[in-house]
Amino acid sequence: MSKLILVAVGGNALIRAGQKGTAQEQFENAVDTAVAIVHLIKAGHRVVLTHGNGPQVGAMLTRAEYAAAHAYRLPLDCCVAATQGEIGYILQYAMWQAMQQEGLQVPVVSLVTQVLVDSRDPAFVNPTKPIGPFYTKEVAERYRDLFNWAIVEDSSRGYRRVVSSPAPKEIVELEAIRACVDRGLVVIAGGGGGIPVFNDHDLSKGVEAVIDKDHTSAILAWQLGADVLAIATEVEKVCLDFKKPTQRQVDRLTLGECRTHMAAGQFPAGSMGPKIGAAMVFVERGGNEAIITNHEHLIDAIHGQGGTHIIREA
């Protein structure tokens, strides 16, 4: 049975642990994701792909810092847009090559994607998301005063800028994405959680914030009416008691079980928490199921033979 599947690819898909994150490494790593997506297409499914951009946007901000004396500074929203194009191209290229090997001719398109956020979101009062390079105290204080940045100290590495991470509300380019999906295209959208925007008719500036990629993926999957939200990460299955002697994998979680485990601290905010939260949002709003797994087991998980499946009821 053909399904519309939104696959949310984690940062490890292009830059693996221990790698420098060179363009060559990213091209090579993209092959695994491309092969998995092509297998889904061969099985008759339609696919929308989202992706993270944390390492790439950090590198872009670092480049901007070194080039500040010679070129204009790029605000964070422009960096998110630029990395959407960069990563979209890498994934498009990998899928084009993989499709040729399988004799497929399915068009792939990357869409620069804006995501509406609420200017009254409490996250704007409390910036917590670190981005960009580390600075000395003197430089950090100068930038704080010059650009009105929020700065936090990392006792071992220096000072770093932090920005807000508001909740996504709507996908601005939803109808463009839907039109491409309806025409049979593979769509890459919502990169890095999307470019945050306000609907305030102020054309003079963008919003310097970052949005959680998995939560944007959940909103997009729900708005598109996707059958499955598949969140690709580093592990085959979600674990309870992670890194403890009692660690154990789980094949299935109901919404009620997710809430219980979240309340017990099983899924920390800096680890599995956002992924479980995004899966719950999708299922709560009417999605059939969400799956959390790694790209090696993505195909099997879609067919019910791997990964952790989040469902409404047992």
Catalytic residues: 11-12, 129, 213, 275
Dist CA 231 CA 275 (whole Å)? 7
For 53-86, letters b (16+ CB in 10 Å) and e give bbbbbbbbbeebeeeeeeeeebbbbbbbbbbbeb
Dist CA 282 CA 25 (whole Å)? 32
Q: Helix or strand or coil: residue 49?
A: strand
Question: Partners of 151 in the beta sheet?
Answer: 161
Q: Helix or strand or coil: residue 253?
A: strand
Pairing type for strands 129-135 and 150-154 reads unpaired
For residue 237, the tally of other CB atoms under 10 A from its CB is 19
For residue 100, the tally of other CB atoms under 10 A from its CB is 11
